[in-house]
Each structure stands twice: as C-alpha cells, then as structure tokens.
Amino acid sequence: MPDLFQQQSPLVQIDLGDVKGNAPEISETPFLGYLNIRGRSSNTAFLAALLKVIGCEPPIEANTMVESGNYRIYWLGPDEWLLITPTGKQGQVQAELRKALDGVFSAVVDNSSGLTLVEVAGENAGPLLATGCPFDLHPRVFKPGHCAQTRLAKAGMTITPMRDGPGFEIIIRRSFADYLLLWLQDAALVFE
C-alpha cells in the first residue's frame, strides 16, 4: 500500500534533463521550510526574538535578504518576512519563534507545504528570465543580497540573485511550479 503522507516534489513528473548548448541549468531544491513572519521592525522585543532564534534580525530595507547560518530571511513588506529553514526544521524553528515572541505583537505561519525553490543558473539565466519577467534583473541593479516579488510568465514569485555565480533562485507556489518549469524549458530552447 502506498504511503499517502510521503512528501513529493511538485516537479516529480518533470524531467529536468541535460543542459544543451548555452541554455541555463534549471533545478529544484524541494522540501525546504518556509515560515511567514509578521511583526513590527520598530519593536525591539520582536527584533531580539528573531536574533535569539535564527541568529540575525530581519532586513528592514525594502527588497533585501539576509543569511544567518542555514537560514535566509527575505523582506516582503514593512511588517512581513519569509524565513527559509533547512528541510524538516521549520516546525522546531516555528515553535522556538513563537516561544521567543510570546507577548509580542507578531505571527509565525508555516507555508512549507505551499512553496518550492527553483534555481535557474548560468550565463543566460538573466536573458531567459527577462523574456517573461518585467523586473530589471541586470546585475548592475539587482545584486546578491537583493530580492523582489514579481511575476514570471504570469506566475507570482520571489526572486533573488544567486550568491555563487550567475543565476537566480525563484520561490514559487507549488501549484504553479510545473507550469513554470515547462515554460522555462520551452523558453530555453532559443539558447540550445
């Protein structure tokens, strides 16, 4: 009898295949933890709780992200952040944050089952994404440490430049992941 509760990547049925020509490499990092955090960046107790649990304060500058060990936290709005945790750690981190934030105006919601991370890497990653994204992805304006919420082929996403080479990390809803991957594969044909 199949395990009904076994985790599956939203892209389990899509063959990411070999990269041909100058096409960017497309891959998925499934099963990371995604916690949506709400609070007031002006509240020192809120900032101290995040520092205690994840080792850094959330970024307060618009469209930036910070890293602390195995955690990444993205600015989504003046009072909203997305925290990415290692696989399977989101429940523990959520519990620790809720305990540290007890009595502090805040919310911590686990969105792990609804999101996945897709990487588009290589010299032509920017030109490929530019065919379906209205946001300026050029490295002179969109650098590592930046993030943005925008659209790619009509699908909402959060995007950030990769830290170790040309390319981008895209956080997308699981329900749009297969559509987006098929669109990327089709759009990448011009680089073969």
pLDDT mean across residues, the chain: 91
Q: What is the average pLDDT across 56-63?
A: 96
Mean pLDDT of 151-172: 95
How high is the pLDDT of residue 23? 84
pLDDT in tens, 111-130: 999 999 999 999 999 999 99
pLDDT (0 to 100) of residue 192 = 76
Whole-number pLDDT of residue 71: 97
Q: At what angle do helices 90-100 and 44-54 cross, to 10 degrees?
A: 150
Distances 143 to 41, 160, 167 between C-alpha atoms, Å: 24, 8, 11
Domains of the chain (ranges, CATH numbers): 25-30+113-191 (3.30.1360.120), 33-111 (3.30.70.1520)
Give Cβ neighbours of residue 31 (< 8 Å, ≥ 6 apart): 7, 9, 87, 88, 112
- Decide which of 83 and 5 is more confident: 83
As a whole number, mean pLDDT of residues 39-61 equals 96
pLDDT bucket at 22, cuts 50 / 70 / 90: confident
Q: Two tokens at 191?
A: 């680089």
- Return the pLDDT at 50: 97
